[in-house]
Amino acid sequence: MANQEQQSAQIDARIEQLELKLMDLEMSFSELNDVVLRQYRDIERLAQTNAALEKRLDSLNDNNAGPSPSAADEVPPHY
């Protein structure tokens, strides 16, 4: 009878350890999910900003009908 009680106590202890590990995994999963969602929002915002900047750059290039300067026209940085 004592052996059965000891085995039952060991099983209970193992179940408790598993429950604690599961709670830790659930918390880690939730934290990782929050990070992924935040990164997704940041990427979306950056993509929108990039698209707006590309549109603005295209608009500026369309307004400058003249020829674009070549590398030979550039003044070296030491002047």
Structural domains of the chain, count: 1
Q: Would you state the pLDDT for residue 17? A: 98
Q: What pLDDT score was predicted for residue 66?
A: 59
The Cα 48–Cα 51 span in angstroms is 5
Residue 42 lies in a domain: yes
32 belongs to a structural domain: yes
In a domain, 76, yes or no: no
Whole-angstrom Cα distance, residue 52 to residue 58? Answer: 10
Q: Model-level pTM?
A: 0.59
Residue 31: give the domain boundaries. 2-55
Residue 25 lies in a domain: yes
Q: Residues 3-35: pLDDT tens digits?
A: 889 999 999 999 999 999 999 999 999 999 999
**Domain annotation covers residue 63:** no
Q: Let me know if residue 14 belongs to a domain.
A: yes
